[in-house]
Amino acid sequence: MFQKCSALNNINNIKIKGWLPSYALLEMFKECTNLENINYTNIELYINGEGVCRSMFIGCTRLANVSKLYIRGNLGKECCYEMFKNCANLTTPPTDYFKRNIYPESCYYAMFSGCSKLAKIEDMKTISDSGGSIQFMRNCFAYMFYDCRLLHVHWKGIKGNFSNNSC
Instruction: Give strand ranges (E) for the chain.
Output: 10-18, 37-45, 69-72, 102-103, 135-136
Specify the pTM. 0.82
Question: Which of 145, 127, 134 has its CA nearest to residue 83?
Answer: 145
Half-sphere exposure of 151 (CA within 13 A, CB side): 25
Looking at residue 87, its pLDDT comes to: 95
HEC string for 33-46: CCCCEEEEEEEEEC
Is the per-residue pLDDT at 160 higher than 70? no
C-alpha–C-alpha distance, residues 142 and 44, integer Å: 24
pLDDT per position as a tens digit, 59-114: 999 999 886 677 777 778 888 899 999 999 998 777 666 666 667 888 889 999 99
Query: Mean pLDDT over residues 4-28, rounded?
Result: 87
Query: Mean pLDDT over residues 6-30, rounded?
Result: 87
